Amino acid sequence: MAGADLMERVVNLCKRRGLIFPSSEIYGGFRSTWDYGPIGVLLKRNVKDQWWRSMVHLRPDVVGLDAAILMAPRVWEASGHLATFTDPLVDCRACKLRFRADDLPASGACPNCGATGSLTEARPFHLMFKTFVGPVEDEASVAYLRPETAQGIFVNYLNVQTTMRLRPPFGIAQIGKSFRNEITPGNFVFRTREFEQMEMEYFVPPEDAPRWFEYWCQERYRWYRDLGIPEEMLRIRAHGPDELSHYSAATADVEFAYPWGWGELEGIANRTDFDLRRHAEYSGQDLSYYDQEHDRRYVPYVIEPAAGADRAMLAFLLAAYREEEAPTADGRMEKRTVLRLDPRLAPIKVAVLPLSRNERLVPVAEDLAASLRPHFMIDTDSAGSIGRRYRRQDEIGTPLCVTVDFETLDDKAVTIRDRDTMTQERVPVAELTEHLRARLGG
């Protein structure tokens, strides 16, 4: 499906099926922020859970953290954000709109009104949101909403390292909200002013940094592949020297083939010892590590895989979206929309459907759903034809539907219908939980 078309259909599906709504919609929307609905919140939670599972749960060398969004303003002086966290901003004198200088077409014309010669010189625009902490709104009470979760990890480095008795190489992982006053938010949840990051800072001996940088580039690429993004929609792109952030010795992006072209999904950076050195300098705390085995002291280097939960969710949605021909119950062909999501990401794992609204079937289906609920995220639906209900589940990516029919009342078995193959299998109710668990994996 062509790019713009695919994007429009995914955005429509998200609105129509309760995945993502425009924020403050009844007031006309608030451009640049989005709200996750009942199905979307499940999908996003699954994305974050899979990240946490692979980065913390399955690793002996990484621990978790949940630091505050508001931090001492000195943090942002030390990190360099106050001085350098800007984007180049250009104004159009004709239509008064503002743009990121690096987003402008080569022609130099205004991308909105087309005027030529109307764009101002680029000037730096600060991306951090400012607020006031406490009852007085003066310079002394200024604080910032964090623009990355990473700094919460650096300022807790010593707390975590000492309380958990960790020796490099080790990592600290965190998921949380970040805020940036983006000049041009857009492309749905790709670039927003409030978003969620999944970041891990991996502390290593300086000489090992290049090796760990390579390792984390491969590992993060593998994570997206494993969860179903095809190879042809993913690539790793190394940054050129002119693209590097103020703290980075090397950066590579895991890029995704978005409908508008290749774009960043996640950045992996070798942040050197920049952050720990700066925080040591600004806080007066010694953040070096004494390596007893080699009797030496060093400031660890940091390799940082930094992903966005919203962007990852968008990529999983775009990669999973299909419109295909499917047979109806009476043998005709009709179009179905299906999200071929990995079952680990699917918002609903199993839908329990009575064949009809018959008064003998509905209570059996309800009881069955109640017995499955402790094990899987379950949906029930009895409105409309069974074919239509399968389609509704296909649209939100439910891997399996369990149908209760009149035979169930006698043989105590149900039909399991597979989202991708649409094949059906009869399974005894007594074996259902184990059977579903095996089919869903993960």
Listed in sequence order, the DSSP H helices in 127-265 are 150-154, 157-163, 209-226
According to DSSP, the β-strands at 123-126 and 86-91 are: antiparallel
* Binding flag, residue 276, ligand GAP (CB under 6 A): no
Is residue 310 a contact residue for ligand GAP (CB under 6 A)? yes
Strand partners, 324: 336
Q: Which is nearer to ligand GAP, 235 or 375 (CB)?
A: 235
Q: Which stretch binds ligand GAP (CB under 6 A): 38-46, 74-82, 255-263, 307-315?
A: 307-315
Selected binder of ligand GAP within 259, 267, 343, 397 (CB under 6 A): 267
Total Cβ atoms within 10 A of residue 437: 13
CB of 266 to ligand GAP, least distance (A): 5
Q: Measured from the CB atom, is 310 or 394 closer to ligand GAP?
A: 310
Q: Which helix (H) or strand (E) holds 289?
A: strand 289-291
User: CB of residue 160 vs ligand GAP: minimum separation in angstroms?
Assistant: 17
DSSP codes joined into one string, 343-398: TTT-S-SEEEEESSS-TTHHHHHHHHHHHHTTTS-EEE--SS-HHHHHHHHHHTT-
Q: Does 435 bind ligand GAP (CB under 6 A)?
A: no
Q: Interface with ligand GAP includes 8 (CB under 6 A)?
A: no
Q: Does 307 bind ligand GAP (CB under 6 A)?
A: yes
Q: Of 247 and 376, which has the nearer Cβ to ligand GAP? A: 247
- For the purposes of burial, counting CB atoms within 10 Å of the CB of 21, is it exposed (0-12), middle (13-18) or buried (19 or more)? middle
Please report, as residue ranges, which positions from 176 to 215 form the binding site for ligand GAP (by CB under 6 A): 180, 182, 191-192, 195, 197, 199
- Contact flag: residue 87 with ligand GAP (CB under 6 A): no
Residue 124, preceding bond cis, omega within 30 degrees?
no
What are the distances in angstroms from CA 349 to CA 246, 385, 394, 408, 435? 44, 21, 11, 21, 13
Nearer to ligand GAP, 197 or 272 (CB): 197
Q: How far is the CB of 306 from ligand GAP (least distance, A)?
A: 4
Using rule CB under 6 A, residue 311 touches ligand GAP? yes
Token match 């969004």: residue? 69
Q: Based on the shown chain and the rule CB under 6 A, indicate whether residue 40 belongs to the binding site for ligand GAP.
A: no
Q: Which of 124, 121, 123, 101 is nearest to 111 (CA)?
A: 101
* 150 in contact with ligand GAP (CB under 6 A): yes
**Cβ–Cβ under 8 Å, residues 369 and 351:** no
Q: Interface mask (CB under 6 A) for ligand GAP, residues 396-415, using x and -?
A: --------------------
Considering only residues 337-376, where is the footprint of ligand GAP by CB under 6 A? none
Nearest distance from residue 198's CB to ligand GAP, in Å? 8
- Indicate the residue among 304 and 394 with the shorter CB distance to ligand GAP: 304
Length of the chain: 442
Of 305 and 397, nearer to ligand GAP (C-beta) is 305
The least CB distance from residue 114 to ligand GAP, in Å, is 27
Alpha carbon distance 258, 27 (integer Å): 30
152 binds ligand GAP (CB under 6 A): no
CB of 429 to ligand GAP, least distance (A): 43
Indicate the residue type of 335.
K
CB 217 within 8 A of CB 252: yes
Name the site residues for ligand GAP (rule: CB under 6 A).
148, 150, 180, 182, 191-192, 195, 197, 199, 264, 266-267, 304, 306-308, 310-311
